[in-house]
Amino acid sequence: MNATRTLHDLGQSLWLDNITRDLLNSGTLERYINELSVTGLTSNPTIFDHAVRNSTTYDEEIARKSHAAKSAEELFFQLALADLTRAAALFQPIFARTDGVDGWVSLEVSPLLAHDTNSTLAAARDLHGAAGKPNLFIKIPGTPEGLPAIEAAIFAGVPVNVTLLFSREQYLAAADAYLRGVERRIAAGLNPAVGSVASLFVSRWDVAVAGKVPAELSNRLGIAIAQRAYKAYRELLASARFQRLANAGARAQRLLWASTGTKDPKAADTLYVKALAAPFTVNTMPEGTLKAFGDHGAVGDALAPDGGDGERVLANFAKAGIDVDALAARLQEEGATSFVKSWNDLIACINSKSAAIRKAS
């Protein structure tokens, strides 16, 4: 039994943090499902930018649809939904077998809407409706401006992957938005079972403090932050508030580990996967990390529900001068800015390809 199957059997969902048409056409994604226990996937503007920019696979569809599309953004979502609906169909048996707990794919709304709750909600509803797949999450950033849109989307019955979370406090704010949406559905007499995950970014913490802390703390901050968030997650699942909602038919919003590829070339390439093994969570991995873990990974002890030694490690970072609250806010802000840049790069790429194809025709 390979390590990915062992991790799956522990109770953690392994999702691929990638989507390309080549992955679909070659049968590689189906092979990952069958051989590496992959049960879902996530995407973002950077992933689609690389997919479109570095492949000619999309050119025929761009040529066919660019004249009718009102904008490069509209054309992009047509391309993305074509890929993601195919992926969703591959995961549909898992979605059905787990009664909607697993088997999800994710598509992000335009990050340009981040400060506009109503437009974000409208885009989320339109994209989910256009896909026509129940196992499609719409990704909405868990920024202060995004929280009202998350609550509104859940109330509207749109499944949400809350992205860009970096700390326990940011996670709890996102969880509260989700629960408020569910509570409003119950009060309105609606089905409260709307799927959601909350995505906590891990490795970016260690990149942010690299070279600024003692060597013994190298590559330990992201894991400690995850331990702190996991304790809060377990406490929330055990809370009277959630149990009342669960009794009415609500789902748990699962905690998802994002950004789990190792950035430090001196560290193990499976560092975060091994450290973050935990039942009833998701780990979405870059393709290289997934293959590395399947090849030579090992599953260690599961995360302790009480956070283990996370607080002690965080105390050592505080002694080293790291203000994790301020850093969490900075990382979220930088992440949102990065998403906008990736989005603009993606739209520019599609515009460029469309113009080149029109010129050649």
231 is catalytic: no
Selected residue with higher pLDDT from 49 and 38: 38
Nearest 5 degrees, angle CA 78-CA 81-CA 83? 110
What mean pLDDT is predicted for residues 34-56?
93
The CATH number of whichever domain residue 174 belongs to comes to 3.20.20.70
What mean pLDDT is predicted for residues 165-171?
98
Work out whether strand 196-201 and strand 160-165 pair parallel, antiparallel, or are unpaired. parallel
Q: Is the pLDDT of residue 154 over 70?
A: yes
Domain count, the chain: 1
Q: Is the pLDDT of residue 265 over 70?
A: yes
Residue 284: what pLDDT?
98
Instruction: List pLDDT tens digits, range 90-138.
Output: 999 999 999 999 999 999 999 998 888 899 999 999 999 999 999 999 9
What mean pLDDT is predicted for residues 27-34?
98
Alpha-carbon span 64 to 67, nearest angstrom = 7
Alpha-carbon span 165 to 201, nearest angstrom = 6
Instruction: List pLDDT tens digits, range 322-338.
Output: 999 999 999 999 999 99
Residue 356: what pLDDT?
81
Q: Where residue 174 falls among pLDDT bands split at 50, 70, 90?
A: very high
Residue 114: what pLDDT?
81
Q: Is the pLDDT of residue 241 over 70?
A: yes
Domain that holds residue 238: 3-360
Residue 65: what pLDDT?
85
What mean pLDDT is predicted for residues 298-322?
97
- Catalytic entry in 65, 133, 139, 291: 139
Residue 353: what pLDDT?
85
Cβ-contact 121, 156 below 8 angstroms: yes
Selected residue with higher pLDDT from 66 and 38: 38
Q: Where residue 358 falls among pLDDT bands split at 50, 70, 90?
A: confident
Q: How many CA atoms lie within 13 A of 289 on its CB side?
A: 26
Q: Is the pLDDT of residue 212 over 90?
A: yes
Mean pLDDT of the chain: 95
Residue 357: what pLDDT?
76
Burial of 26 (0-12, 13-18, 19+ CB in 10 A): exposed
This prediction has a pTM of 0.96
Residue 361: what pLDDT?
66
What percentage of residues in the chain have a pLDDT greater than 70? Answer: 99
What mean pLDDT is predicted for residues 180-206?
98
